[in-house]
Structure 1
Amino acid sequence: FIRIIETPQKEISKILRVIFRKEDPHPLFSPADKTRVDIDVLRRKHVLLLISDLDISLDEIQVLEVLYKYERASSSELNYEIVWLPIVDRSAWNDSYQQKFLNLQSIMPWYTVNHPSVIEPAVIKYTKEKWRFVKKPIVVTLDPQGKVTCTNALNMMWIWGNAAFPFSTDKEESLWKSESWTIELLVDGLEPNLPNWMREEKVICFYGGEKMEWIESFTSATKKAAQTLEIGLEMVYVGKNNAKERVKKISGLITEKQLSHSWQDASVWFFWNRLESMLYSKTQHGKTNDPDIIKQEVMTILGYDGSEHGWAIFFLGTTEMVRANGERVLSSMQSFEEWEEMVRQMGFIPALRKHLEGITDDHHCTRLILPGISGGIEERVVCAECGRPMEMYFMYRCCVE
Structure 2
Amino acid sequence: MAIFNKLSSYSWGAKVVLTLAAFAVNFGEFWLIAQLCTSNSLAKSVALLKQPDILEHSQTLKTHFDALSKLINAMVNVTKCIVELTELPSKYISIDEPPLSTAMAHIHTATYWIISSVVVCVGQITGLMGMRQEFTISTSDAWELSSLAHKVSSIHEHLQSRLRLCYERIDEKKLMEDFEHFKRTIETPQVDNLMILQNIFGREENVLNPERAQVYINVLRKKHVLLLISDLDISQEEIRVLEVVYKERVSSRLNYEIIWLPIVDRTTWNDGYKENFSTMQSNMSWYTVRNHVAIEPAVVKYIREEWGFVKKPIVVTLNPQGKVLCPNALNMMRIWGNAAFPFSSEIEERFWKAKPWTLDLLVARLEPNLPTWVSQQKVVCFYGGVKMEWIESFTTATKGVAKALDIGIEMVYVGKKNARERVQKITGLIKEKQLSHAWEDDNVWFFWNLLESMLYSKTQHGKTIENDVIKQEVMTMLGYDSSKMDGLCSTPDRVKW
TM-score bracket, shorter-length normalisation: 0.7 to 0.9
Indicate the residue corresponding to 2:377 in structure 1.
201
Query: Is 1:213 the counterpart of 2:389 in the alignment?
Result: yes
Residue 288 of structure 1: how far off its partner (Å) = 4.8
Task: Determine what percentage of the aligned residue pairs are the same residue.
Answer: 64
Indicate the residue corresponding to 1:29 in structure 2.
208
- How far apart are the structure 1 equivalents of 2:465 and 2:404? 44
Indicate the residue corresponding to 2:88 in structure 1.
none
Indicate the residue corresponding to 1:147 in structure 2.
323
Q: Read off the aligned partner of 2:476 and give its amino acid letter.
A: T
Larger mean Cα displacement after TM superposition, 161-170 or 309-318: 309-318
- How far apart are the structure 2 equivalents of 1:132 and 1:280? 13
Match of 1:299 among 465, 469, 475: 475
- How far apart are the structure 2 equivalents of 1:93 and 1:253? 43
Q: Read off the aligned partner of 1:265 and give its amino acid letter.
A: D
Contact 1:31-1:106 within 8 A present in 2 as well:
no
- How far apart are the structure 1 equivalents of 2:268 and 2:318? 31
- How far apart are the structure 1 equivalents of 2:395 and 2:425? 17
- How far apart are the structure 2 equivalents of 1:287 and 1:302? 17
Larger mean Cα displacement after TM superposition, 191-200 or 284-293: 284-293
- How far apart are the structure 2 equivalents of 1:240 and 1:12? 42
Residue 116 of structure 1: SS of its match in structure 2?
A: coil
Residue 214 of structure 1: how far off its partner (Å) = 0.9
Query: Is 1:9 the counterpart of 2:190 in the alignment?
Result: yes
- How far apart are the structure 2 equivalents of 1:307 and 1:13? 48
After superposition, the C-alpha distances for 1:129-162 in whole angstroms (9 at most, x for unaligned) are 1111111000011111111111100000000000
- CA 1:21–1:100 in 2, change beyond 3 Å: closer, same or farther? same
Query: Is 1:81 the counterpart of 2:81 in the alignment?
Result: no
After superposition, the C-alpha distances for 1:21-68 in whole angstroms (9 at most, x for unaligned) are 22x332x11122x22111110011011000000110000000111111
Q: If each structure's helix is expressed as a fraction of its own residues, which one has the higher value?
A: 2
After superposition, the C-alpha distances for 1:108-128 in whole angstroms (9 at most, x for unaligned) are 111000002111010111111
Contact 2:464-2:471 within 8 A present in 1 as well:
no
- How far apart are the structure 1 equivalents of 2:464 and 2:422? 37
Q: CA RMSD in A?
A: 1.4
Larger mean Cα displacement after TM superposition, 81-90 or 288-297: 288-297
Contact 1:210-1:250 within 8 A present in 2 as well:
yes
Query: Is 1:49 the counterpart of 2:224 in the alignment?
Result: no
- How far apart are the structure 1 equivalents of 2:428 and 2:205? 52
Indicate the residue corresponding to 1:223 in structure 2.
399
- How far apart are the structure 1 equivalents of 2:209 and 2:314? 21
Q: Flag as ranges the 4+ runs of structure 1 deviating above 2 A.
A: 286-291
Match of 1:96 among 272, 275, 280: 272
Contact 2:454-2:474 within 8 A present in 1 as well:
yes
After superposition, the C-alpha distances for 1:215-254 in whole angstroms (9 at most, x for unaligned) are 1111111111122222211111110011111111011111
Contact 2:198-2:205 within 8 A present in 1 as well:
no
Structure 1 unaligned regions, length at least 5? 324-401
Indicate the residue corresponding to 1:118 in structure 2.
294
Indicate the residue corresponding to 1:236 in structure 2.
412
- How far apart are the structure 1 equivalents of 2:415 and 2:482? 13
Residue 290 of structure 1: how far off its partner (Å) = 6.5
Contact 1:210-1:239 within 8 A present in 2 as well:
yes
- CA 1:194–1:87 in 2, change beyond 3 Å: closer, same or farther? same
Indicate the residue corresponding to 1:18 in structure 2.
199
- How far apart are the structure 1 equivalents of 2:449 and 2:404? 36
Indicate the residue corresponding to 1:166 in structure 2.
342
- How far apart are the structure 1 equivalents of 2:257 and 2:233? 22
Match of 1:38 among 192, 202, 216: 216
Residue 133 of structure 1: SS of its match in structure 2?
A: coil
Query: Is 1:273 the counterpart of 2:453 in the alignment?
Result: no
- How far apart are the structure 1 equivalents of 2:307 and 2:434? 47
Indicate the residue corresponding to 2:59 in structure 1.
none
- How far apart are the structure 2 equivalents of 1:217 and 1:107? 41
Indicate the residue corresponding to 1:176 in structure 2.
352
Indicate the residue corresponding to 2:484 in structure 1.
309
Residue 287 of structure 1: how far off its partner (Å) = 4.5
Q: What number of residue pairs does the alignment pair up?
A: 316
TM-score, normalising length from structure 1? Answer: 0.77
TM-score, normalising length from structure 2? Answer: 0.62
Contact 1:211-1:309 within 8 A present in 2 as well:
no
Residue 230 of structure 1: SS of its match in structure 2?
A: coil
After superposition, the C-alpha distances for 1:247-267 in whole angstroms (9 at most, x for unaligned) are 110111111111111000000
Residue 139 of structure 1: SS of its match in structure 2?
A: strand
Indicate the residue corresponding to 1:355 in structure 2.
none
- How far apart are the structure 1 equivalents of 2:424 and 2:309? 31
Indicate the residue corresponding to 1:380 in structure 2.
none
- In the TM superposition, 1:252-267 aligns within 5 A as 252-267=428-443
Contact 2:229-2:313 within 8 A present in 1 as well:
yes
Q: Read off the aligned partner of 2:412 and give its amino acid letter.
A: V
- How far apart are the structure 1 equivalents of 2:439 and 2:464? 35
Contact 1:205-1:235 within 8 A present in 2 as well:
yes
Structure with greater Cα Rg? 2
Q: Read off the aligned partner of 2:393 and give its amino acid letter.
A: S
Indicate the residue corresponding to 1:72 in structure 2.
249
